[in-house]
Amino acid sequence: MVKTTKIFKVNAESPNEEVIEVCARYIREGGLVVFPTETVYGLGANAYNPNAVKKIFIVKQRPMDNPLIVHIAGFKQLYEVVSSIPAWVKDFLVKVWPGPLTAVLPKSKRIPGEVTAGLDTVAVRMPLHPVALKLIEKSGVPIAAPSANISGRPSPTTAQHVIEDLWGKVDVIIDAGETIFGVESTIIDLTREPPVLLRPGPYPVEKLREILGKNIIIPEFARGLSEADKALSPGMKYRHYAPRTPLILVELKDYTDLSALTLKIIELAEENISKGKRVAILSSSETAKMYLKHLGKRAKIVVLGSRNNMYSVAKNLFKALRDLDKLNIDIALVEGFEEKGVGLAVMNRLRKASTKIIVVD
Ligand code: AMP
Ligand code: MG
């Protein structure tokens, strides 16, 4: 079904109140509104309206057993969407919200089963973005929102990415420029003790452990190394972020010396070039000159960011994955990164996006 999509440009810090009011009306009336958050763009609907929520799944072509995150604007709303929260959880959330952290908690009766894929828990987040907060506030209801991309594609970090995937399928797109972090929120399951990391994100798990004063378990699937346990994290089993171009991830066991990594990538590039294939390399700023020196113009080099600032790598990652398909290449090689801080989120996304993983000793 094709519908008219309106696009509104707003200032990320102080969005026009009247524009947000118009968008809030769409949410209240059961429409679909794409809005920016500090992580990625979200595809939002009234979390209390099962028919509106169903439209999210149809438009995204998202499997119905993959639950959505419910976005709230204040703690009053938290008590509407969850059934109970222990004091230690409340104390923790007060410290981390608003921010790029999603908490899985027991759900209240007000949240329809369509949102949670029939689970008795709900994933909740209070985002740190003036546009998102204002939209939720003015709507007067919590907003259920997954990332605003077609399922399986890299998440959108600009309105242009949203247009590529969802033009003519949603009521409104609110454009507030590029998102800040560029990868989706960190998700932790707080219904378990110790809590379990379900998805790494911008909020580093090391920092969360410190704030919580408790251990947080990191299962293999949260590192992107294995299929997710369906009972624990229903949506994580699906392949994600996949560019159409084949992507080979080259990892190291230890990142103190990068020479084995660059050597392997140069070898793979040479091998493919000799077969007549067009090659791109997704690299860190530290190693890019090595590829330039050895391969010159025979490979396209895309710099993701610096290993010393993994936030820069995270921010550029999804754009780079989307752009791969526009580079007119046959195969891409990507460097692995150390799984420290936001590096854990980067590696989770890269492992899920890649068609093959090579680990160099
Ligand atoms: P997305 O909206 O695309 O960022 O994906 C949200 C992810 O949150 C899903 O893929 C689920 O894995 C996870 N999630 C949402 N609700 C729950 C829940 N109740 N329990 C466990 N994981 C959840
Ligand atoms: Mg998503």
Is the shortest distance between the CB of 182 and ligand 1 below 6 Å? no
Q: Whose CA is nearest to atom 4 of ligand 1?
A: 146
Q: How confident is the model at residue 230 (pLDDT cuts 50, 70, 90)?
A: low
Ligand 1 centroid to Cα of residue 59, in Å, is 17
Q: How confident is the model at residue 236 (pLDDT cuts 50, 70, 90)?
A: low
* β-strand partners of 250: 335, 358
What's the pLDDT at 3?
82
Share of the chain above pLDDT 70, in %: 96
Is the shortest distance between the CB of 82 and ligand 1 below 6 Å? no
Q: What are the percentages of helix, strand and coil residues in the chain, rounded to 5?
A: 35, 20, 45
Query: Domains of the chain, with CATH numbers?
Result: 6-223 (3.90.870.10), 247-360 (3.40.50.11030)
Tell which residue, 350, 172, 151, 328, has the closest CA to residue 251: 350
Q: How confident is the model at residue 268 (pLDDT cuts 50, 70, 90)?
A: very high
pLDDT digits over 64-75, tens only? Answer: 999 999 999 999
pLDDT digits over 40-72, tens only? Answer: 999 999 999 999 999 999 999 999 999 999 999
Q: What is the DSSP string of 177-219?
A: SS-SS-SPPEEEETTSSS-EEEE--SS-HHHHHHHHTS--B--
Tell me, yes or no, if the pTM score tops 0.85: yes
Proximal ligand: closest to the CA of 149: 2
Please give the Cα distance from 54 to 42 (Å, whole number): 15
Please give the Cα distance from 171 to 167 (Å, whole number): 9
Q: How confident is the model at residue 228 (pLDDT cuts 50, 70, 90)?
A: low
Residues 6 or more apart whose Cβ sits within 8 Å of residue 187: 69, 102, 103, 104, 123, 197, 198, 199, 201, 233
pLDDT at 238 over 80: no
Is the shortest distance between the CB of 69 and ligand 1 below 6 Å? yes
pLDDT digits over 284-332, tens only? Answer: 999 999 999 999 999 999 999 999 999 999 999 999 999 998 999 999 9
Contact predicate 158/173, CB 8 Å: no
Q: How confident is the model at residue 243 (pLDDT cuts 50, 70, 90)?
A: confident
pLDDT at 244 over 90: no
Two tokens, residue 162: 């949203």
Cis peptide before 130 (omega within 30 of 0): no
Is the shortest distance between the CB of 150 and ligand 1 below 6 Å? no
